[in-house]
Amino acid sequence: MQLPTYPLPDARGRYGVFGGRYVPETLIPALDTLRDAYAEAKTDPAFLSSFETLLREYVGRPSRLYLAENLTRHAGGARIYLKREDMNHTGAHKINNCLGQALLAVRMGKKRVVAETGAGQHGVATATAAALLGLECVVYMGREDIRRQALNVFRMKLLGAEVREVTSGTATLKDATNEAIRDWVTNVRGTFYILGSVVGPHPYPAMVRDFQSVIGEETKWQLQAAEGRAVPDAIIACVGGGSNAIGIFAPFAYLPEHQRPQLIGTEAAGQGVDTGFHAASVAGGKVGVLHGSMMYLLHDDEGQIQAAHSISAGLDYPGIGPEHCYYSDHNVARYVPVTDAQALSALQLLARTEGIIAALETAHAIHQAVITARELGEGKVIVVNLSGRGDKDVAEVMRLLGPGLTGPGLTGSELGDQA
């Protein structure tokens, strides 16, 4: 296999004005080394062959491109395909990137990896890759997320990782990321930081994108086989930091405009973008710097980062990757807000029509898929990145809907509990 080469970022790690390396000087030499090591690995047949073998034999790739006929019928419009990243080992797209970075860590002679996690999917995937490759693993996770995702916490422990609780700030993904970066600053000489999304300082957004772009590359030939065309009319994915979305967008994003499908990212609108309780960085944020990168960001007039709110821990992040920011500014992709209630409803819809329980994150994309399928109409084709499975969310969904599905669903007070 080959890893793709894209026109962005530029040599300074910028996507237009976005991206960059806003980090303490201690990390700059490590980022230089990482950039060079990754550039070398990217063209090394031995590295690429290891990565390809793991994706095939261990992750179970290629993931299926499944025509969701019942959902298509329900929507009454374009044919809806689901790219089944939920069928990957560990249940989400996260493993693609973790194996790539863990292989790079081994190649660079690092014995210890650290990671941040929100929903726990990236933490589990990192712990998995670390177990497989014999690396010591520490995962930082916010206290609030540890409560919401107890099962994933235990999974990480079973896999031999140490989970460190983060209580600073909002005690969610943002703060876990701060803490992982601080660990890396402190232990930079022997530690590799496995970042889980297309955020952070250069080269992380590019590297994570490249490892995840296998999703979009597979989609091309799978859709060619199924529909006789490699490019659908629309592609939809949920966006927190944006790694599953960039994985399926990037292989199509640099096509000439007339060949490019509609690329639609769904941001978590929480209780609504106007309520202040949301995680919609494009719709409700403005340009700023967080975690080493310039991006659309939820922050106040003083530049203090604001708490993000979403029913899904994985989207509960106040920023969005710099390449998505570039896509948004240049009309390559558009980003639409989807509320907690809409996502919860879409989760149930997919479960009942297709027998697939998606992650709450992914459910945001399902909601938009129905809307876009109707807008495009029959004869058109859309692909939804089914980024993760819902096992981790079942307890939380039961809490919201009630064990007999007779609960109040989403009310203001329920969301207040989460906030």
Lay out the site mask for another protein across 114-153 (x = CB under 8 A, - = otherwise): ----------------------------------------
Q: Is 387 a catalytic residue?
A: yes
Contact call for residue 377 and another protein (CB under 8 A): no
Q: Could you say whether residue 28 binds another protein (CB under 8 A)?
A: yes
Per-residue HEC secondary structure of the chain comes to: CCCCCCCCCCCCCEECCEECCCCCHHHHHHHHHHHHHHHHHHCCHHHHHHHHHHHHHHHCCCCCEEECHHHHHHHCCCEEEEEEHHHCCCCECHHHHHHHHHHHHHHCCCCEEEEEECCCHHHHHHHHHHHHHCCEEEEEEEHHHHHHCHHHHHHHHHCCCEEEEECCCCCCHHHHHHHHHHHHHHCCCCEEECCCCCCCCCCHHHHHHHHHCHHHHHHHHHHHHHHCCCCCCEEEEEECCCHHHHHHHHHHHCCCHHHCCEEEEEEEEECEHHHCECCCHHHHCEEEEECCEEEEECECCCCCECCCCCCCHHHCCCECCHHHHHHHHCCCCEEEEEEHHHHHHHHHHHHHHHCCCECHHHHHHHHHHHHHHHHHCCCCEEEEEECEECHHHHHHHHHHHCCCCCCCCCCHHHHHHHC
Based on the shown chain and the rule CB under 8 A, indicate whether residue 109 belongs to the binding site for another protein. no
Q: Which of 85, 116, 354, 396 is catalytic?
A: 116
**1 and 7 in contact (C-beta within 8 Å)?**
no
The reply on whether position 288 binds another protein by CB under 8 A is yes
Q: Packing angle between helix 204-212 and helix 322-329, nearest 10 degrees?
A: 80
Please tell me whether residue 406 binds another protein under the rule CB under 8 A: no
Given candidates 289, 351, 371, 401, which one binds another protein under the rule CB under 8 A?
289
Ranges within 175-234 binding another protein (CB under 8 A): 175, 178, 181-182, 185-189
d(CA 82, CA 234): 12
Question: Is 310 designated active site?
Answer: no
Binding piece for another protein, criterion CB under 8 A, among 20-28, 37-45, 99-107, 367-375: 20-28
- The residue within the footprint of another protein, chosen from 93, 299, 309, 367 (CB under 8 A), is 299
Assess contact for 296 and 325: CB atoms under 8 A. Answer: yes
Select 291 or 367, whichever has its Cβ closest to another protein: 291
The first and second tokens of residue 116, run together, are: 């941040």
Task: Pick the piece of the chain touching another protein (CB under 8 A) from 64-72, 174-182, 333-341, 354-362.
Answer: 174-182
Among positions 29, 377, 402, 408, the unique one binding another protein when judged by CB under 8 A? 29
Identity of the residue, 270 or 288, whose beta carbon is nearer to another protein in the bound complex: 288
Could you tell me which residues are beta bridge partners of residue 305?
A: 299
Q: Using the rule CB under 8 A, which residue among 1, 2, 10, 26 binds another protein? A: 26
| Smallest distance, another protein to C-beta of residue 190, A | 10
Shortest spacing between CB 141 and another protein, in angstroms? 17
Tell me if residue 111 is catalytic: no
From the candidates 42, 83, 94, 392, which is the catalytic residue? 94
Q: Which of 50, 213, 281, 387 is catalytic?
A: 387
For residues 186 and 84, the answer to whether their CB atoms sit within 8 Å is no
168 binds another protein (CB under 8 A): yes
21 binds another protein (CB under 8 A): yes
Which of 3, 8, 23, 397 forms a contact with another protein (CB under 8 A)? Answer: 23
Q: Total residues contacting another protein (rule CB under 8 A)?
A: 37
Which listed range, 123-131, 206-214, 254-262, 282-290, lies at the site for another protein (CB under 8 A)? 282-290
Q: Which stretch binds another protein (CB under 8 A): 46-54, 262-270, 285-293, 348-356?
A: 285-293
Instruction: Tell whether residue 304 is a contact of another protein (CB under 8 A).
Output: yes
> Which one of 4, 160, 169, 407 is in contact with another protein (CB under 8 A)?
169
User: What is d(CA 222, CA 225) in angstroms, rounded to the nearest whole number?
Assistant: 5
Q: Is 91 left (phi over 0), alpha (psi -120 to 50) or beta?
A: left
For another protein, the closer CB: 23 or 65: 23
Q: Is 174 in the site for another protein (CB under 8 A)?
A: yes
* Contact with another protein (CB under 8 A) among 158, 255, 287, 398: 287
- Binding residues for another protein (CB under 8 A): 20-30, 168-169, 174-175, 178, 181-182, 185-189, 287-292, 297, 299-305
Residue positions annotated with a catalytic role: 94, 116, 387
